[in-house]
Amino acid sequence: MQEKGTISIHTENIFPIIKKFLYSDNEIFLRELVSNAVDATQKMKRLSSLGQYNGELGELQVEVALDETAKTITISDNGIGMNADEIKKYINQIAFSGATEFMEKFKEAKDANEIIGRFGLGFYSAFMVADQVEINTLSYQEGAEPARWTCDGSTEFEITEGTRTTRGTDIILHINKDSEEFVSKQKLQEILDKYAKFLPVPIKFGERTDQVPDGEDEEGKPKYMSVVSDNIINETTPIWTKAPSELKDEDYLQFYKELYPFSEEPLFWIHLNVDYPFNLTGVLYFPKVKNDFDFQRNKIKLFSRQVFITDEVKDIVPEFLMLLHGVIDSPDIPLNVSRSFLQADSNVKKINTYITKKVADKLSEIFKADRKAYEEKWSDIGLFVKYGYVSDDKFNEKAKDFVLLTNTAKENYTLNEYKEKVTAAQTDKDGQLVYLYTNEPEKQDSFIQSATKKGYDVLVMNSPIDNHFVSQLEQKLEKTSLKRVDADVADKLIKKDDAPATVLTDDQVTQVKTVFEKAITKPGFKVELESLNPDELPVTVTMDEFMRRMKDMAQMGGGMSFYGNLPDNYKVVVNGNHKLISRILETGDENEQAQLAKQAFDLALLSQGLLTGAELTEFVNRSVSLI
């Protein structure tokens, strides 16, 4: 048997394209060839189970072998094999609808994945690294003749009689000069670890030597002996392929360790398992993240029938769940198409919705089953839940029952519980509920104390997502607004009808205002006199809630740059009902008035950490002279 011919594609220069333009991730050649080999063994298994093959199935296996001297990589399998006609059909006639379309598309394609999968060029990715490729194969069919195909990367091929005596296929790559990095055991092991670690058929790559216990020596010390065995690089039944009922917690934890050897133990996990209307399995883990936004994203690995595809799962997993770890395996995700196509794909949308629902259900289940355990995990999962609450309507709908608010006493409340708790004390004169919060409990302590004295509760909102969370709460909760505790003096935070009457005459108000305006020369500070409780501080420095939020947003790049450019503006609230004000009015001495006003103002700044540098020194000196 000898035949020469031309590979039937209409575009002569397909190989240069494959080689040159798809160069960047050329390591996927191994993924493609090993997957083909696995497919061939799986087909064999199917034929056998369907009764269409009655011979010996044997132990199905794929082997990757490296010959460093000959600079070849051989991928062998004992799958269905091919006869010469099948080679012609499957290999020579590259099965894509049109070479013209291919030529068009390759220009747009961002990576080799897009091209290779889209056009069924898996096998031809071999030419990214080899200048000569051989197929040596024997079909499983009775009486089949072994066949050998060779091609040097031009469109010329040759088919001759093969040398295989057992069922299956060897693909032999003669690695080209530019790709010698692949003539390395370590490199191949790395690639196999990345793409083939969970393939369903054992993949052998060379041998390994293990030291196993071998009794004791004369002195009674344990003895070891070297045992050489096949180096099987994969686990053929990873946990996501098993039924949850077969698995124990240890199995999930063990698998997590395998995936992320350097991570802390996960908090809990969700086993995904659907087969209608799409196919998807997987395990998603909730890692410990604390209040840290700098953790690594892209920790979810995407597989298609146990072949690793990518760890970029954007669009498939909702944005807020990108913080999760784990694996997703689905043959229904179009793996090789462009991003915009992926976004519009209806399966992808369904998968996204399914994952969101599963995660929400799991959280709800833990919350209901063991509130205490849920609260203990809150510092870790709070970020996910709030992120989802803010960014995903469907999740929001479910999360409203298990998102928690934490106050300065470290007590946790659901939204409903909190509403009940504060309604009596924190409803203003217009029937609006006002929730108070602090983002820096230490710095805002004096404000928190004043609010607490009035019987108000203060929430802690100090995680990176809380800015958005606060706005979202305002949108979702009825007749409720949120105010940072330092947005105003405690008396004014929640407007009530029972404001204390002023003890000052209009004249006195003007007089006191002038004293303070003269004493406070710092730019951006505006003096206002208010009649507050006599036991409130004499002077309080506040920043308007609206203004502050706009500035915060500008800082986070929220497009409010107009506000970001405005100078900081503070309100200096002087408590007209405080004893100190009577003292200022009583002494006619302008110098003493100024001293007292400055001292009270500095104390207000000091309590908020706003007094620094020369001003702080001046304050200390003044204080010393006053005692």
Ligand X SMILES: Nc1ncnc2c1ncn2[C@@H]1O[C@H](COP(=O)(O)OP(=O)(O)OP(=O)(O)O)[C@@H](O)[C@H]1O
Annotated binding-site residue? 1 = no
Positive or negative torsion for Cα 507, 508, 511, 514: negative
Cβ atoms 530, 594 nearer than 8 A: no
Give 134's strand partners: 150, 172
Could you tell me the smallest distance in angstroms from the CB atom of residue 219 to ligand X? 53
Annotated binding-site residue? 484 = no
Annotated binding-site residue? 97 = yes
Could you tell me the smallest distance in angstroms from the CB atom of residue 33 to ligand X? 7
For helices 590-607 and 579-586, give the axis angle rounded to 10 degrees.
160
Q: Which of 21, 96, 120, 481 binds ligand X (CB under 6 A)?
A: 120
Cβ atoms 65, 74 nearer than 8 A: yes
Number of residues that bind ligand X (CB under 6 A): 18
Distance CA 485, CA 241 (A): 52
Could you tell me the smallest distance in angstroms from the CB atom of residue 341 to ligand X? 17
User: What are all long-range contacts of 510-513, with beta carbons under 8 Å and residues at least 24 apart?
Assistant: 511/585, 512/574, 512/576, 512/581, 512/584, 512/585, 513/574
Nearer to ligand X, 82 or 470 (CB): 82
Selected range binding ligand X among 34-42, 233-241, 441-449, 557-565, rule: CB under 6 A: 34-42
Helix, coil or strand: residue 180? helix
Under rule CB under 6 A, residue 34 binds ligand X: no
Q: Which of 14, 18, 22, 37 binds ligand X (CB under 6 A)?
A: 37
Annotated binding-site residue? 439 = no
Under rule CB under 6 A, residue 199 binds ligand X: no
Residue type, 417: E
Under rule CB under 6 A, residue 36 binds ligand X: yes
Helix (H) or strand (E) holding 336: none
Rg of the chain, C-alpha, whole Å: 36
* Pick from 90, 96, 111: nearest CA to 27: 111
Distance CA 217, CA 21 (A): 61
Residue 212: HSE in the Cβ half-sphere, 13 Å Cα cutoff: 7
Q: Which residue is nearest to ligand X (CB)?
A: 122
Helix, coil or strand: residue 310? strand
Selected range binding ligand X among 117-125, 177-185, 234-242, 435-443, rule: CB under 6 A: 117-125
Under rule CB under 6 A, residue 500 binds ligand X: no
Could you tell me the smallest distance in angstroms from the CB atom of residue 139 to ligand X? 9
Could you tell me the smallest distance in angstroms from the CB atom of residue 79 to ligand X? 5
Give 3's strand partners: 159
Q: Which of 90, 295, 354, 378 binds ligand X (CB under 6 A)?
A: 90
Could you tell me the smallest distance in angstroms from the CB atom of residue 331 to ligand X? 11
Under rule CB under 6 A, residue 334 binds ligand X: no
Could you tell me the smallest distance in angstroms from the CB atom of residue 116 to ligand X? 6
Phi-psi region of 256 (alpha: psi -120 to 50; beta: other; left: phi over 0): alpha
Cβ atoms 183, 68 nearer than 8 A: yes
* Pick from 149, 166, 142: nearest CA to 76: 166
Per-position x/- string for 523-542, each x denoting binding to ligand X as judged by CB under 6 A, each - no binding: --------------------
Under rule CB under 6 A, residue 451 binds ligand X: no
Under rule CB under 6 A, residue 188 binds ligand X: no
Give 313's strand partners: none
Backbone angles phi, psi at 314, to 5 degrees: -50, 145
**CB count in 10 Å sphere of residue 508:** 17
Q: Which of 15, 28, 78, 79 binds ligand X (CB under 6 A)?
A: 79
For residue 44, give Cα distances in angstroms to 52, 235, 331, 350.
9, 20, 20, 33
**Alpha-helical regions (H) of 169-242:** 185-195
Annotated binding-site residue? 36 = yes
Annotated binding-site residue? 32 = yes
Nearer to ligand X, 119 or 384 (CB): 119
Nearer to ligand X, 234 or 446 (CB): 234
Could you tell me the smallest distance in angstroms from the CB atom of residue 141 to ligand X? 12
Nearer to ligand X, 59 or 219 (CB): 59
Selected range binding ligand X among 76-84, 226-234, 453-461, 516-524, rule: CB under 6 A: 76-84
3-state helix, strand, coil in the chain (%, to 5): 40, 20, 35
* Pick from 492, 469, 605, 478: nearest CA to 549: 469
Q: Which of 29, 123, 157, 437 binds ligand X (CB under 6 A)?
A: 123
Selected range binding ligand X among 29-37, 391-399, 441-449, 564-572, rule: CB under 6 A: 29-37
Nearer to ligand X, 79 or 287 (CB): 79
* Pick from 448, 363, 466: nearest CA to 409: 448
Annotated binding-site residue? 98 = yes
Q: Which of 30, 40, 323, 489 binds ligand X (CB under 6 A)?
A: 40
Selected range binding ligand X among 112-120, 391-399, 433-441, 615-623, rule: CB under 6 A: 112-120
Q: Which of 34, 44, 66, 80 binds ligand X (CB under 6 A)?
A: 80
Under rule CB under 6 A, residue 14 binds ligand X: no
Q: Which of 66, 91, 366, 448 binds ligand X (CB under 6 A)?
A: 91
**CB count in 10 Å sphere of residue 189:** 16
Q: Which of 117, 162, 382, 538 binds ligand X (CB under 6 A)?
A: 117
**Alpha-helical regions (H) of 427-520:** 445-453, 466-476, 490-493, 506-519
Distance CA 42, CA 60 (A): 8
Residue type, 518: K
Distance CA 26, CA 487 (A): 58
Annotated binding-site residue? 556 = no
Per-position x/- string for 144-183, each x denoting binding to ligand X as judged by CB under 6 A, each - no binding: -------------------------x--------------
The two three-digit tokens of residue 346, written as one number: 């209806």
Nearer to ligand X, 90 or 378 (CB): 90
Could you tell me the smallest distance in angstroms from the CB atom of residue 244 to ligand X? 30
Under rule CB under 6 A, residue 572 binds ligand X: no
Please state the residue numbers annotated as binding site for ATP. 32, 36, 77, 82, 97-98, 169, 339
Please state the residue numbers annotated as binding site. 32, 36, 77, 82, 97-98, 169, 339
| Interface contacts to ligand X, rule CB under 6 A | 32, 36-37, 40, 77, 79-82, 90-91, 116-117, 120-123, 169
